[in-house]
């Protein structure tokens, strides 16, 4: 049965609403002033995450964007450079924050089809030590990358590559638990060797607000200062951190349901001749459609209680805790009807 929603909203897994357990935990949360490090609930969330991800320290932040920004500001100095995917969130979708706030220059590279960055291409853009160039300081990977879990052997290679080249290594792990569930490995195995990892609690895990940045104790001390600088010190943040704890305790294993729903959705949609379906990739399915057809589809499905958000070249469908098994069949049937109606017209 679908919870909370009167519509089937496939735009993103950010649209989820807190579960009754989260609301209860929030209402009862013990709090203190987190800017002084005195909020017991925030502290508990931070230690839970460090333990899970295998890091010394962690920092609770209001958003994944701010978490990536604080990571970049902590790793890089003004005039340094970070290498990231052309369509990486930390480059393309964060308003240029690293450049605006930190004077940090991005070096974007195309992602490979599997969501990785080709390490030879990364090697080729590392700048030589010469006054003409900036210092290439950091390599930033994303996992999952548009739903794709990065191959584990690639992660190992990336870690030794970064060490060899003297680069720091950050993981935008907004959906890292989708990767660990899909690959059926402990999340520690995915984060091993990274200097920092950012995790979103507010995507598939279902918390209303919050991300956590992990790293060494020394790194997190410096990131803490940056969090204050960018306005992310939240005082009695235990109210929202309490939902994050529930998200971690109850949300991780549940992600397998989202992956099963995405798989069923992709299977059903693949039977529609007019559709080119990419996926499932963890909790995402992509449809390649011309912008005009995508726009018509958006309107058609909206009239039937389904929300999708086409971009220039495709439609991304994301499953989450507000999407149930019956919804998947509904979406497949409505899409079938849409194309049948067009054919008839
Ligand atoms: C959502 C997302 C973020 C940022 O999270 P916000 O909380 O929306 O700022 C960062 N990276 C990736 C890959 C994301 O999907």
3-state secondary structure at position 322: coil
Return the best residue to mutate from 14, 61, 63, 64 for the ligand 1 pocket (most ligand atoms within 8 A of CB). 64
Give the angle 190-194-199 at the CA atoms, nearest 5°.
65
- pLDDT score recorded for residue 259: 98
- pLDDT score recorded for residue 3: 64
Task: Please give the average per-residue pLDDT across 30-43, as a whole number.
Answer: 97
Domains of the chain by range and CATH?
8-13+254-344 (3.90.1150.10), 31-250 (3.40.640.10)
Sign of CA dihedral 255, 258, 262, 263: positive
CB atoms within 10 A of CB 30: 11
pLDDT digits (tens, 9 = 90+) for 323-337: 999 999 999 999 999
Confidence of residue 101 (pLDDT cuts 50, 70, 90): very high
Return the best residue to mutate from 16, 89, 177 for the ligand 1 pocket (most ligand atoms within 8 A of CB). 89
Task: Please give the average per-residue pLDDT across 137-155, as a whole number.
Answer: 98
- pLDDT score recorded for residue 311: 87
pLDDT digits (tens, 9 = 90+) for 229-282: 999 999 999 999 999 999 999 999 999 999 999 999 999 999 999 899 999 999
Return the best residue to mutate from 60, 70, 93, 143 for the ligand 1 pocket (most ligand atoms within 8 A of CB). 93
pLDDT greater than 90 at residue 313:
no
Beta bridge partners, 141, equal: 171
The secondary element (H helix, E strand) that includes residue 41 is helix 40-53
pTM of the predicted structure, to 2 decimals = 0.96
Measured distance CA(116)–CA(23) in Å, rounded? 37
Measured distance CA(62)–CA(33) in Å, rounded? 15
The secondary element (H helix, E strand) that includes residue 81 is strand 80-85
Q: What is the 8-class DSSP label of residue 138?
A: E
Measured distance CA(326)–CA(2) in Å, rounded? 8
pLDDT greater than 70 at residue 88:
yes
Task: Please give the average per-residue pLDDT across 179-204, as a whole number.
Answer: 98
Ligand 1 atom with minimal separation from the 202 CA: 7
Q: Which residues line ligand 1 (CB under 6 A)?
A: 63-65, 68, 89, 142, 172, 174, 200, 202, 211
Percent of the chain with pLDDT over 70: 99
Ligand 1 atom with minimal separation from the 145 CA: 13
């Amino acid at each position: 049965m679908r919870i909370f929603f009167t519509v089937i909203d496939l735009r993103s897994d950010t649209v989820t609403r807190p579960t009754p357990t989260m609301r209860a935990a929030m209402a009862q949360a013990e709090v203190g002033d987190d800017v002084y490090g005195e909020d017991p609930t925030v502290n508990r969330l931070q230690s839970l995450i460090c333990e899970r991800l295998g890091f010394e320290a962690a920092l609770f932040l209001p958003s994944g964007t701010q978490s990536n920004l604080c990571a970049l500001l902590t790793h890089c100095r003004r005039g340094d450079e970070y290498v990231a995917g052309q369509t990486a969130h930390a480059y393309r979708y964060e308003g240029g924050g690293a450049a605006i706030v930190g004077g940090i220059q991005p070096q974007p590279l195309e992602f490979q089809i599997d969501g990785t960055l080709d390490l030879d291409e990364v090697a080729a853009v590392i700048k030589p030590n010469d006054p003409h160039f900036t210092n290439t300081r950091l390599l930033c990977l994303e996992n999952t990358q548009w739903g794709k879990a990065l191959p584990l052997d690639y992660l190992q290679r990336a870690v030794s590559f970064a060490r060899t080249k003297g680069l720091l290594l950050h993981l935008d792990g907004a959906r890292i638990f989708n990767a660990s569930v899909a690959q059926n490995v402990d999340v520690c195995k995915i984060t091993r060797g990274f200097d920092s990892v950012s995790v979103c609690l507010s995507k598939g895990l279902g918390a209303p607000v919050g991300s956590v940045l992990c790293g060494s104790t020394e790194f997190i001390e410096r990131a803490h200062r940056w969090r204050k600088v960018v306005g992310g010190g939240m005082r009695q943040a235990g109210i929202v951190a309490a939902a994050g704890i529930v998200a971690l305790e109850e949300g991780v294993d549940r992600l397998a349901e989202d992956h099963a729903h995405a798989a069923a959705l992709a299977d059903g949609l693949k039977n529609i001749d007019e559709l080119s379906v990419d996926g499932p990739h963890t909790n995402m399915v992509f449809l390649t459609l011309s912008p005009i057809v995508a726009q018509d589809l958006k309107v058609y499905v909206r009239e039937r209680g389904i929300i999708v958000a086409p971009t220039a070249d495709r439609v991304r469908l994301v499953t989450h805790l507000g999407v149930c098994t019956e919804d998947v069949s509904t979406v497949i049937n409505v899409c079938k009807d849409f194309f049948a109606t067009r054919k008839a017209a």
